[in-house]
A and B are shown apart, each in its own frame.
Chain A
Amino acid sequence: MQYLVSVINDRSNSGTPDEMAAINEFNDRLQTQGHWVFAGGLAAPSSATVIDNRGEEVIFTDGPFVESKEYLVGFWIMEAPDLDVALKLAAEGSKACNRKVEVRPFL
């Protein structure tokens, strides 16, 4: 079973060196324990482009599809046997990156 762990940012400064070190250590642990699938950090929402090609021609719009004070700043995809394990890992992840996270199962 795979879970998406979204990292939610609500402050302006990006990851501090301490946070980055904690995240790396956590990632190593995910890998050795077999929970690691994929992870990544994202550039600021202002760098986003929205594409809509449902109509006659493709439309590009500058900026994120929704403006909000809280936004996705990175994510993990984790392998876990059930939600209890995923929640425990996500709690460690939240501590490591010093941010709120959201856990959602893949279908």
Chain B
Amino acid sequence: MSLVAVRDAITQAHHEEWCRVVASLTRRFGDLDIAEEAAAEAFATAVQRWPADGVPPNPGAWLTTTANRKAIDSIRRENKRDDKQKEAQLVYDDDPPEPLGAIDDERLRLIFTCCHPALAMESRVALTLRMVGGLTVAEIARAFLVQESTVGQRITRAKAKIKAARIPYRVPSAEDLPARVSGVLAVLYLVFNEGYLATGPDTDPVRHDLTAEAIRLTRLIRALMPEDGEVAGLLALMLLTEARRTARVSASGELVALDKQDRGVWDGALIAEGHRLVRQRLAASVAPGRYQILAAINAVHTSARDGRDTDWSQVLALYDQLVRLDPSPIIALNRAIAVAELDGPEVALAAVDRLENKLAGYHAYHATRADLLRRLGRSQEARAAYDKAIELAGNTAETAYLNRRREQLE
């Protein structure tokens, strides 16, 4: 087997098996630290040995066995050093498994523990990417433009809290499940959005590594909870957004508005998969949650061959439905963009202006206002709004787009 083939096999095993290995070790030893360390050691051993010994017939089983052995070795070492450690390493989840049947997978326990609502959001993100996604601390730090030591601290602190406060390692009970699933999805959506609209002056406008990781983890959760409508909705939303990625930033590094994008370069396979998920959810005839509605809105956009063919009344109807679920000002702002297409920029501007005291610090509020004012020929006010938007925007491609728009004002 060639070295390239071995390297590919290791990468594939890392994608497919990391989470499973960490999850099964956490279950067995009741300790995230031991599980993480032993899993990392097992993969390091694979990197050393597979090129010479060949890829084992069942890489997952090999990795689990090796990691188990590493964990036991490390516990023995610790125990020799300090007997008190034993107590901390006892498995505390002795509960009989919750009667949840199909969705009781060890990986789900791990995901729910990492996304526990008692942890700070940034800790949940770091912990999930490390323990579930298998990203290294250095990779997470690079992705979020923070120091490695900061990410390390977030993960260490989160693991310490899980242990000290006894955050349980299990799938939540059926009655808590919807709220807890939505907590998990919020973590994944945050990772996706940070990739899709990366912030920071020196960063690429789109961080494909983060969007891809978010999609991969959402696919995993979808495989584990195939019946959950919001999981399907979030996956569809991500796919339909990711499908437009290459058309979204121009060769000169400028953000391209939806109506100006070259629809020919949209990813047809991702769109087809996203549409299929949206249709499945529509057929389920269960009241949709916010991710399903957002996915449906994106399905309408990606169904139009040309921006001018967009079914805006359908978009607006979906936003109306969304506003009833989530009366946040950001949803109201996006709804106003659909209103502009149907009722004209003047009506939309009135709706946007009503959001001022809630959104004055949000760049998209000023960018939307600027665009509506431009369309109304109110150049001076538009210029002031572009200035404000540019000042607040963190994404390099968006700043470039806003700058050009401002310069084109009459």
Interface residues, chain A, CB within 8 Å of chain B? Answer: 1, 81-84, 86-87, 103-105, 107
Contact = CB atoms under 8 A, between A and B. Distances in A.
A105 B118 contact: no
B141 interface: no
Q: Main secondary structure on chain B at its contact with chain A? A: loop
B168 interface: yes
Interface in B74-125: 92, 95, 116-118
Interface of B: 92, 95, 116-118, 164-168, 172, 176
B94 to A, nearest CB: 9
Nearest to A106: B164
Contacts of A83: 116, 118, 165-168
Contacts of A86: 165
Contacts of B167: 82-84
B172 A105 contact: no
Nearest to B167: A83
A82 B168 contact: yes
Nearest to A85: B168
Nearest to B112: A84
A87 B118 contact: yes
Given A83-B118, A87-B118, A105 B164 contact: yes
Nearest to B164: A105
A82 B118 contact: no
A103 B164 CA distance: 12
Contacts of A1: 166
B114 to A, nearest CB: 14
Nearest to B176: A84
B165 A84 contact: no
Q: Which 9 A-B pairs have the closest CB atoms?
A: A82-B168, A105-B165, A82-B166, A83-B165, A83-B167, A83-B166, A84-B168, A1-B166, A105-B164
A81 B166 CA distance: 8
7 contacts: A82-B92, A82-B167, A84-B167, A87-B118, A103-B165, A105-B165, A105-B166
Choose among B117, B165, B167, B172 the residue with the greatest number of A CB atoms under 10 Å from its CB: B165
A49 to B, nearest CB: 31
Nearest to A88: B176
Contacts of B95: 81
B172 A84 contact: yes
Contacts of B164: 105, 107
Contacts of A103: 165
Given A82-B166, A83-B168, 19 more contacts: A1-B166, A81-B166, A81-B168, A82-B92, A82-B167, A83-B116, A83-B118, A83-B165, A83-B166, A83-B167, A84-B168, A84-B176, A86-B165, A87-B117, A103-B165, A104-B165, A105-B164, A105-B165, A105-B166
Contacts of B172: 84
B123 to A, nearest CB: 15
Contacts of A105: 164-166
Nearest to B117: A87
A60 B264 CA distance: 79
Nearest to A80: B166
A105 B161 CA distance: 10
A105 B92 CA distance: 15
Contacts of A81: 95, 166, 168
A107 B165 CA distance: 9
